[in-house]
Amino acid sequence: MNSRIVKLADNTISVEEMASLADWLKEGHQVTKGPITREFEAEFAAYIGTKYSIMVNSGSSANLLMAFSLLEAGYLRNKKVIVPAVSWVTTLSPFIQLAFECFLCDSDPNDLGVDLDHLEQLLKNEQPALLILVHILGHPNQMDAIRRLCASHGCLVIEDACEALGSEYKGIKVGALSLAGSFSFYYGHHISTIEGGAITTSDDTLYSVMLAIRSHGWSRDVPEADRLAWKEEFQIDEFREFYSFYYAGYNLRSTDLNAYLGRLQLGRLPEITRIRARNFELYRQALPEFWSQSSEGGPISSFAFGTYARNRLETANHLVAHGIECRPLVCGSMGRQPFWIKKYGVMHLPVADKVHDFGLYLPNHAKITPEDIAFVAKHFREVAQPI
């Protein structure tokens, strides 16, 4: 039996960070959302390059909070949204849950972001109020062209950047390329807070609404000017204000425990990005006959190395037999997922179908070495058939 294991993802929380957390907990600090969460939010916003960030309990909650807040704040002229066919289930599911009319956009064959021609067709035919982008496996979409198209049709743009923390497009980090962006700090992502996520934005109004909806719909966390304005509008006295709810909110808060871990890891993000970008290039060099993503911008904080294999199942089984973890390339096509089929029927899109049928990704994280990549590539090439 092979004793070498190359994990798809690995823990980013160091022994030293866990020991620091244990010491901090022993001091008896507030563990629920409090000052540490606010400090992390300020530091994370500064890293991304936005005015604000809002920490939540997962990247999935971040997408839900963006979707509902845009509705509640009156930013959307209709309930039509374009979602990439190649994305993650909780990129799409909040919009289905909130009764949006959802249109799946096919993928660009190079970066696997949205296809510009299909996007333009959807914008013209459907006139949606919103587009959510996904930077697949860390590769930014073609933002200049996308923003031009969306601006010409009055369509707002937000980003699901959960797979792309640290990636840049023309000197601007993902999450700062649109009205708002979401991030995940789940195990094996670029940094981990155990569970957790964040939204980034520079929009004052949206920020206040998201803060309220994150915490039941009350105004306790909202900037003072908005808190007082809301209080005056509804004639709320000081005592009643404790339990006054301005939106039908959720509880999507994270905790100071999670934020404490996040603060410890933020300083390592540049090095994590460097290693992930290096590993992506090493894979490309080791597998020149196989397709790989290409995109505008850099660095690419690669989440994993995506490619195609004509004999995908055979290839995956061969890798697993040699101690190498791999997975389908994200979710494949949303239009061929059971939850979509049950509600809308099968939807076929050329590039998304190719990803669905032949796509897979190979391990990349900050603990993988060049020797690991050579090992993975060697066993991949033993069986995989390029397309």
- Tell me the pLDDT tens digit for each residue of 107-135: 999 999 999 999 999 999 999 999 999 99
Q: Residue 210: its pLDDT value, please?
A: 98
pLDDT digits (tens, 9 = 90+) for 91-106: 999 999 999 999 999 9
pLDDT of residue 4: 85
Average pLDDT over residues 72-98: 98
Q: Which alpha helices (DSSP H) does the chain contain, by range?
A: 15-26, 35-48, 59-72, 89-97, 116-126, 143-152, 204-214, 224-233, 256-266, 269-286, 312-321, 338-344, 350-358, 370-383
Which residue carries 């997962």 as its tokens? 58
pLDDT classification of 1: cutoffs 50, 70, 90? very low
* pLDDT score at 297: 79
Cβ atoms 221, 214 nearer than 8 A: yes
Q: DSSP string of 156-186?
A: EEEEE-TT-TT-EETTEETTSSSSEEEEE--
- Is a pLDDT exceeding 60 seen at residue 341? yes
pLDDT of residue 2: 56
Pair 200, 222: CB distance under 8 Å? no
CA distance 175 to 172: 9
Measured N-to-C along each axis, helices 59-72 and 204-214 cross at an angle, to the nearest 10 degrees, of 120
Q: If we measure between CA atoms, which residue out of 202, 185, 208, 188 comes closest to residue 260?
A: 185
Average pLDDT over all residues of the chain = 97
pTM score above 0.85: yes
- The total of other beta-carbon atoms located within 10 Å of residue 32's CB is 10
Q: What is the spatial distance between Cα 114 and Cα 107, in angstroms, rounded to a whole number?
A: 5
Q: What is the helix (H) or strand (E) element at residue 306, kind and residue range?
A: strand 305-308
CA torsion angle 169 173 178 179 (round to 10): -170
Q: Is the pLDDT score of 188 beyond 90?
A: no
Distance CA 52, CA 181 (A): 11
Structure tokens at 269: 């993000």
Answer whether 161's CB lies under 8 Å from 183's CB.
yes
Q: pLDDT tens for residues 210-245?
A: 999 999 999 999 999 999 999 999 999 999 999 999
- The yes-or-no verdict on residue 315 having pLDDT over 50 is yes
Task: Say whether pLDDT at 152 is over 70.
Answer: yes
Mean pLDDT, to the nearest integer, of 31-49? Answer: 97
Helix (H) or strand (E) holding 360: strand 359-362
- How far are the Cα atoms of 50, 136, 168, 173, 345 from residue 140, in angstroms, in the given order? 17, 7, 7, 9, 30
Q: Is the pLDDT of residue 17 over 70?
A: yes
Phi-psi region of 332 (alpha: psi -120 to 50; beta: other; left: phi over 0): left
Domains and CATH numbers, the chain: 15-266 (3.40.640.10), 269-383 (3.90.1150.10)
SS3 for 224? helix
